Amino acid sequence: MDRFYIDQFFEQHCDDIHGCVLEIADNNYTKRFGVNRVLQSEIFHVTESEKATLVGNLVSGQNVPTEAFDCIILTQTLPFIYDVDSAIANCYRALKTNGVLLCTVNGISQISRYDMERWGDFWRFTNLSLAQLLKAHFKSSTKNPEAVSITTFGNVLTATSLLFGIPSQELQMKELNHHDQDYQVLIGARAVKF
């Protein structure tokens, strides 16, 4: 269910995926939505892997370059980091001026057993909590009032379907595309470094 909404979010913001792009764990969204706008794709991971081009730590800032990226794709990552504020601060530092952080997090969801057993599953978010966390670093101004914009996805049907393991393919588009702020399955954020 959340992947359906993640795709919608990146479709809405595909023009932001350009230049030098950093994505966590793999570069699937960079390739799918950046198309020919991406000049360099970096894959960041906390452990060494065949895919990782940068191995480091978003919380400590280890091996996180400064002012290096036009876009950072942070898909379903923050729920698995205890010190979310430090991770956001290091993403901010890694962006060039006018760089964009595209971030998705889950609202209503089950525990990810895979992540819980490896590094932890700590958080569920709301549009308000994610906005506050991002606005602490991505500052708006009179000239640029929209440093952080938030989009929510989901409704009571998609939330319960997710919890019961019913895939998005079994629901109608009108059911999927009805969004109710009281049942936030996925929250997407676009944050610009001015």
Tens of pLDDT, residues 135-161 = 999 997 777 778 999 999 999 999 999
Q: What is the predicted pLDDT for the residue at 146? A: 86
* Nearest-angstrom CA–CA distance, 13 and 39: 17
AA letter at 39: L
Q: At 179, list the tokens.
A: 């969004």
Q: What is the model's pLDDT at position 65?
A: 98
Q: What is the pLDDT along the chain (194 residues), one digit of tens a residue?
A: 999 999 999 999 999 999 999 999 999 999 999 999 999 999 999 999 999 999 999 999 999 999 999 999 999 999 999 999 999 999 999 999 999 999 999 999 999 999 999 999 999 999 999 999 999 999 977 777 789 999 999 999 999 999 999 999 999 999 999 999 999 999 999 999 99
How do 95-106 and 186-192 pair as beta strands? antiparallel
pLDDT, residue 140, reads 79
CATH class, domain 2-192, is: alpha beta
Amino acid at 93: R
**Side-chain half-sphere exposure of 160, counting CA atoms within 13 A:** 3
C-alpha closest to that of 163 among 98, 105, 106: 106
pTM over 0.75: yes
